[in-house]
Amino acid sequence: MKTIILGIESSCDETSASICIDGKVMNNIIATQSIHEEYGGVVPELASRAHQKSIILVVESALRGAEVKFSDLSAIAVTQGPGLLGALMVGYSYAKSLAFALDIPIINVNHMKAHILAHFIETPMPIFPFICLTVSGGHTQIVKVNSAIDMVVLGSTIDDAVGEAFDKGAKLLGFPYPGGPKIDEYAASGNPQKFSFSESQIKGLNFSFSGIKTSLLYFLRYHLKNNSDFILENLRDICASYQKHLISMLMKKLVLAAEETSIRQIAIAGGVAANKELRIQLKQLSQKHQWMSYIPEFEYCTDNAAMVAISGHLYFQNKSFGHLTDTPQPRMNF
């Protein structure tokens, strides 16, 4: 009998559904919310309302695309947290209602663990144990992945996430939200050696990105006093230099984690894993240190239900089920 998992993701501003059959992801339906752009960031109430409008449509589209009926489902995997409470409630309430009506298990999925397990959607897949650098707008972590259900955080940010550093830096430069990808785009034709910004010197495997944001702020203030067109005239070089320092901070800790654990299976995951320069730097380090490196396809780096569905498949094999009395956990621990 086939194991058919419906995955649902609604932790922030993407409403997504996916069908996974016997470990093969059949589709990845995503409804993106563009309304937040005019506000310079995600507005929780607007995100929740947009999820309510989209959730039924994206689920039906996923089922139809995979030629699956509700009655065929083995279980429903859904993001329980972390994320925006209102946004999580939409997907989670829908999943619980559906699981109750169909009398099938519900599988609680941690959003950040799902990003890591996105590596099992397509080949090549990492071999346990492996090290994964998870980088997103809200999280920056180095995780030792012993199995699909056994993961240990080796280091994390003590303040801002790297994705936040990208987006807030982009805002200082005048880019619309989300600005992180714009920095990556403009950096491609800039000089990364042109300007310097302060990097945190925290010992161990933890990160800190608040200092480099402040460094960029004061750097811009200083130069704009003398030249109001400074940003416009140097935008590509500023982007390249700022990005270089952010990625440098990530890569230094990743090298240290590999050395301390003697693990050569190295992966990156999360929204910032879509950054082209980060992907290039990981491949270069892999050649230098003889790592086997793994990076998900672009569509599986940002928030999506395919990673939730494959997580559900792996949890289903371990009979790791939730309960209908469970609730969304916006500050869900890793």
Encode pLDDT of 203-223 as tens digits.
999 999 989 999 999 999 999
What's the pLDDT score for residue 39? 63
Whole-angstrom CA distances from 79 to 33, 54, 125, 276 are: 18, 16, 22, 27
What's the pLDDT score for residue 201? 82
What's the pLDDT score for residue 200? 85
**Per-domain residue ranges for the chain?**
4-116+301-317, 125-295
One of 3.30.420.40, 1.10.3720.10, 3.30.70.100, 3.40.50.620 is the CATH number of 125-295, namely 3.30.420.40
Whether the Cβ atoms of residue 73 and residue 104 lie closer than 8 Å to each other: yes
Q: How would you class 259 by CB atoms within 10 Å of its CB: exposed for 0-12, middle for 13-18, buried for 19 or more?
A: exposed
What's the pLDDT score for residue 35? 66
Intervals of the chain under pLDDT 50: none
What's the pLDDT score for residue 21? 98
Q: Which fold has domain 4-116+301-317?
A: Nucleotidyltransferase; domain 5 (3.30.420)
Examine domains 4-116+301-317 and 125-295 and report if their fold is the same: yes
What's the pLDDT score for residue 178? 82
What's the pLDDT score for residue 322? 96
Q: Give the pLDDT confidence of 169-214 residue by residue, as tens digits.
A: 999 999 988 889 999 999 999 999 999 998 888 899 999 998 999 9
Q: Give the pLDDT confidence of 261-286 residue by residue, as tens digits.
A: 999 999 999 999 999 999 999 999 99
What's the pLDDT score for residue 332? 94
Dihedral sign, Cα of residue 279, residue 280, residue 284, residue 285: negative
Q: What is the pTM of this model?
A: 0.94
In terms of C-beta distances under 8 Å and separation of at least 24 residues, what long-range contacts does 276-281 make, across chains too? 276/184, 276/188, 277/184, 277/187, 277/188, 277/243, 277/244, 277/247, 278/135, 278/247, 278/250, 281/247, 281/251
